[in-house]
Structure 1
């Protein structure tokens, strides 16, 4: 019997309503991709949509980037885990204590979701980061925050593919690297500053790639998904 490998592709559901998201998802099956639910869709559709998607068998990355005082983040992570999501994230800039609290809260669960940290948004370049008062280049800030996430026991980081190879060398194979800002060959950059193709990202050491609008706004999304998966499955892990 043929065993289908889990896809390294996470499709960002860039929709403003549950109806739009479900219309897109209905032709898909869980081996095709994992799904990311972010702020806009979660605010519009709420936890019920997440339950519907997990009920269909999809691995869900709940991308809400929790960032608050440690007790609040710990509590909200435990509540989010009740949705049976595969992965969730926090902002590493919330600090070591906040990440410790989130990790500790999820560690109490029998089957905790993956917990990863956001470092520097891939829409930000060095100049924009320095405008926030961070006196480091984006790459240096990513490494600093990755070190805190690793120390706090988190499973990995959201990062740019451009930092992946060095992060992999420093933090090892077990530290998950999840990369947005991925654009298939020929796709527009959109609002992303630090981008890379799916094939190149995997070669740089990324575990999972996140692709949104190049798929969700395509007239042939299933074909784009098949093309990306074909590229990824033939790349070294």
Structure 2
């Protein structure tokens, strides 16, 4: 059994334990403030965080501004992106009375090197539950290795975090590729209704008058259908 399959199987038991005793878990997760949050963030992660919060799970959300400094050519707009992300959190249902929202830079002792600092903030927050998709699972596994080796040398000082595999759908962008800020194909959560309509109208479609789902031949139309389907299921 590969690492992902083993973790996915373990996640079933973890999810059941969360449902039985949510107060025994602390989620530590977040994102890099590199631009406006979009529908991919909402359907992929934020909606699940709100669900766990409402279930009674302790929630720590970090905006990794230090990570932007170390892996991007520019730090322009980081401050406003942090503010924008917080507003998006609140609008989506994150309750600051039940969730702790903070930035990397608010912890001066944080390590700057990625991905070690990701492990550092999970461990110093004493997080024991990290909702992730398949792509980010190796980061949680590395965090577990660091915690295990530290505890073997210095005693049981660090919590051992578990990955909770989410079943989040991949939200397509307006051009049919994965929705991404770097692709410039996203629908931001902070868009006004008129801005959203304008963005959708600029989606490249084709001259076929029939609506059909065909991601390879008709990526624009298929992306719109996929997004509409996700929203109907939510």
Instruction: Quickly name the TM-score band, shorter chain normalised.
Output: 0.3 to 0.5
Q: What TM-score do you get using the length of structure 1 for normalisation?
A: 0.34
Which structure shows the higher helix fraction?
2
Larger Rg over CA atoms: 2
Using the size of structure 2 for normalisation, the TM-score is 0.35
Instruction: Give the number of the structure with larger relative contact order, counting CA–CA contacts within 8 Å between residues 6 or more apart.
Output: 2
Query: Higher strand proportion, which one?
Result: 1
